Every structure is written in C-alpha cells, then in structure tokens.
Amino acid sequence: MSEESRSFRTAAVIPAAGRGVRLGPGAPKALRALNGTPMLVHAVRAMAASRSVSLVVVVAPPDGATEVKNLLAEHALPDRTDLLVVPGGESRQESVKLGLDALPPGFDVVLVHDAARPLVPVDTVDAVIEAVRDGAPAVVPALPLADTVKQVEPRTDGSPEPVVATPERSRLRAVQTPQGFDHATLVRAHESVTENVTDDAGMIEQLGLPVVVVPGHEEAFKVTRPLDLVLAEAVLARRRANDGF
Ligand code: CTP
Ligand code: MG
C-alpha cells in the first residue's frame, strides 16, 4: 500500500487490570470513582475523544471483565468508536500483550494508555498519533521534571540511602501515556522482549529502534497515591467551571 492510500486506522489499548496498591484499600484502581464516574470511563472517553481512534480495547482486572463490560455499556461512547473488553494479566506488560492479541486486523497505529491517566487532553492524544503517522515507530508524551533526581543505592532496611549520581535535570523527561506505536513494531517488541519494562516504548528501545518525545500535559498525570485523587477531582471541577456548567 502506498503512503498516500494508507488510512492509518488507530486503536487504543487501555491496561486497566492493576490493583492500585499504592492508592490504598478499595476497588481496583480503574474502577474507583472520580466525581462519581469510574476512572476507567474517563480514560476510555479521553481516547474516544480523538476522531482518529476507532477502537478502544480495555484490559480489565482478570476476574472483572464482565463487570467492566456492564459498566462501560452504561456510559455512551461516540458512534464512531468500537469497544472491546478482555481480561488482563499479572503484570502491566502482560496486560498490554493480552490487549494487543485481541486487536482485529487492519490497525496501523496503536496507542497504549494507562487507565490511571484518566484526564489526558485530546490534543495530547492527537499529537502522539500524528507523530506516528509522520513515521516514528514509537512516540511518548513527556514533560520536563520539576524535581532534581538522584540515583541511589537502594536500601530496604530503612537506613539512609547513599547517593550514586545526579543526572542533569534538563536532559530528563517524565514520560506519560498514551504512547503511540506502529502496530507491527509494537507486536514484534512484545514477541521478542522478555525483560520487565515499566513502559512500552522501553521495549522499542531494546529493539534498537528510535523513540521520540512530543510535549506531554500536566493533566495527563498518573493517579497513583491518594493525593492524586484530590488533584484529579480538582481538575474535573475546574473543567466543569470553565465549560460553564
Ligand atoms: N496494569 C494492568 N495490569 C497489571 C498491572 C497494571 O493493566 N497487572 C495497568 C493499571 O491498571 C494502570 C497501568 O497499568 O492503568 C499503570 O499501572 P499503575 O499505575 O502501576 O497501576 P497499578 O499497578 O494498578 O497500581 P499499583 O502499582 O499501585 O498497584
Ligand atoms: Mg503497578
């Protein structure tokens, strides 16, 4: 197929199978409510908000696929967006793989987006897709760091940890999602990279392929600890106020 005739059909895989241990006791993190709506519903809407995304694959907690299906059926998506729900695995990497396995043929671009980043703006989603369409095999949205970062010799006994190095902050970026990929390249990465990685682009790096960064957004932060719930609800309240509700 020539470049011109490619339609670049785009699917989004949303790993949502984690427990959310750092958030504290309660339902699996993706099912916890933000201003009355489950985090996962916000995340699915954030992907469906892009006109380029025609399929969203949700990777549910292993024993919760039916519950997630029912939940998502209650919340309308745009007509242009199809939805699939599959059960996830033990690790994030495994969950993403299970989501990729469920993709029907015909998608050129795949986004992988954490359910735990429910508030990413559509402009960030579209910027990632556009950079993949422009030829990058892997694209990550990222922001400069506010804090200086120290590399340490980790200690588990509670004693002070020795500092090993201080990487130059201006060269560091905090990476968010959605990360965008050429579909075939991401499938190949999941077939050949077995080491544990904390993001999908890391697998592309291990294949020796280029990964590029586009600007991330402060509202694409990951809901990880209890204070992040407060921040997420404040962002939603600000959006409501600005939308004139
Ligand atoms: N995830 C997943 N399958 C797993 C583990 C994580 O699909 N086995 C997903 C989470 O649901 C989340 C994303 O990967 O949307 C990012 O992971 P993280 O923020 O670490 O979420 P949890 O693993 O749920 O949180 P914690 O590490 O605090 O338990
Ligand atoms: Mg985790």
For 118, phi then psi, to 5°, come to: -75, -15
Which of ligand 1's atoms lies nearest the C-alpha of 28?
A: 24
Measured CA to CA, the distance from residue 119 to residue 43 in angstroms comes to 7
Class (C level, CATH) for 3-139+175-243: alpha beta
The DSSP 8-state label assigned to residue 162 in this structure reads P
CA–centroid distance, 147 to ligand 1, in Å, is 24
CA–centroid distance, 196 to ligand 1, in Å, is 14
Pairwise CA distance, residues 158 & 154, whole Å: 10
Cα 61 off chain centre by = 16
What are the boundaries of each domain within the chain? 3-139+175-243
Q: How confident is the model at residue 89, as a pLDDT?
A: 96
pTM for this predicted structure: 0.95
The pLDDT tens digits along the chain (245 residues) read 445 446 789 999 999 999 999 999 999 999 999 999 999 999 999 999 999 999 999 999 999 999 999 999 998 788 899 999 999 999 999 999 999 999 999 999 999 999 999 999 999 999 999 999 999 999 999 999 999 999 999 999 999 999 999 999 999 999 999 999 999 999 999 999 877 788 899 999 999 999 999 999 999 999 999 999 999 999 999 999 998 65
